[in-house]
Amino acid sequence: MFDSPATLAQQESNQFLQDVWQGLSSKQKYLESKYFYDENGDVIFQKIMDCSDYYLTRCEMDILKNKTAELAFPITAPGTPFDLIELGAGDASKTYFLLKHLLKSNADFVYKPIDISGHILDVLEDNLSQQLPNLKVAPCEGDYFQALDRICQTSNRRKIVLFLGSNIGNMQLDESESFCQQMAHHLNPGDFAIVGFDLKKNPKTILKAYDDDEGVTSEFNLNLLHRINRDLDGNFDLKQFEHYQNYDPLTGACRSFLVSLTEQTVTIAGRDFYFAKDEAIYMEVSQKYSPEDIDELAERSGFKTVSHCYDHKKWYMDAIWKVI
């Protein structure tokens, strides 16, 4: 028996409310960054990708455009059909280059993009149906592993998982390890994962990427307060919160916060939350890695490193891992 779409939407909304209440009643207030991506958040994130300071997209685009054969080789070498599953696919604007290459090589595969935002999956499907009309696409809306479970239950072809865009950076280090272990657990020995990591580099370059002059990252963070107002009957005054970003070169953690500019009480679905002046809500981490950190993560999670694909500046790496 399947839940009706109305029931699922209700469950998601209840979960959103529970998560927001829990985050804002913690000693260190936080909000979960997966909730950034409503329709408006998707549009703002596409603006971030175009920002001159946000180098990550251009670096990974460089890899996807110029190292396509290197990325594709381990995927196509066995010569058998496969599912190409992308976790948090977004608009797939970079993946497009790999998909085009795989189609040209006559690889037998279905592209299965997973994303928590149904809206961005519609954008992806529209774009790809025009750009690559012969591509078989089966989008899957949902949280990473809920959606991956559904895919694994319905197909026993070999699997290649893409996890690009430094999405892994949006996890604490211990979380990323258990995430990669879970990813390996869903795959079979010989399957591959390609994971995008932003590398440690000049701290000022990193900080600027998340503290852009155009204020787009600020808009992206504040949009989550707007979403809470709209979807959870909240009354955040967006003018009373300010985006603050910091980067710690010792740990590689780049963190974003929203700081309350005044003492205030915010009500969300009938529950009050007190904010002291200058109190910060922790919004998101964007973790930076060294190549050694990445190899160790692979080893600890049940993968063997096959190769490192860098952009020409060596600011970013797509690591190719094989399940052992």
Ligand X SMILES: C[S@@+](CC[C@H](N)C(=O)[O-])C[C@H]1O[C@@H](n2cnc3c(N)ncnc32)[C@H](O)[C@@H]1O
> Which of 59, 68, 71, 167 contacts ligand X by CB under 6 A?
167
Q: Report the distance separating Cα 182 and Cα 201, nearest Å.
A: 29
Task: Using the Cα atoms of residue 317, residue 291, residue 175 and residue 278 in order, give the sign of their dihedral.
Answer: negative
Give the range of 82-90, 173-181, 241-249, 269-277 binding ligand X by CB under 6 A: 82-90
209 binds ligand X (CB under 6 A): no
Residues 33-52 touching ligand X, rule: CB under 6 A, are: 34, 37, 45
Of 18 and 262, the one with the shorter C-beta distance to ligand X is 18
Give the range of 99-107, 113-121, 181-189, 202-210 binding ligand X by CB under 6 A: 113-121
List Cβ neighbours of 200 (8 Å cut-off, separation of 6 or more): 206, 249, 252, 288, 289, 290
Q: Are 129 and 103 in contact (CB under 8 A)?
A: no
Give the range of 88-96, 241-249, 276-284, 291-299 binding ligand X by CB under 6 A: 88-96
Give the range of 85-93, 104-112, 204-212, 259-267 binding ligand X by CB under 6 A: 85-93
Of 44 and 280, the one with the shorter C-beta distance to ligand X is 44
User: Least distance to ligand X from the beta carbon of 240, Å?
Assistant: 27
139 binds ligand X (CB under 6 A): no
Residue sitting closest to ligand X (CB): 165
| 127 burial level (CB within 10 Å; 0-12, 13-18, 19+) | middle
Q: In what order do the strands lie in the sheet with 82-87?
A: 140-141, 109-115, 82-87, 158-163, 192-198, 316-323, 303-310
The DSSP 8-state label assigned to residue 2 in this structure reads P
Q: Report the distance separating Cα 312 and Cα 321, nearest Å.
A: 21
Give the footprint of ligand X on this chain (CB under 6 A).
34, 37, 45, 88-90, 94, 114-117, 120, 143-144, 164-165, 167
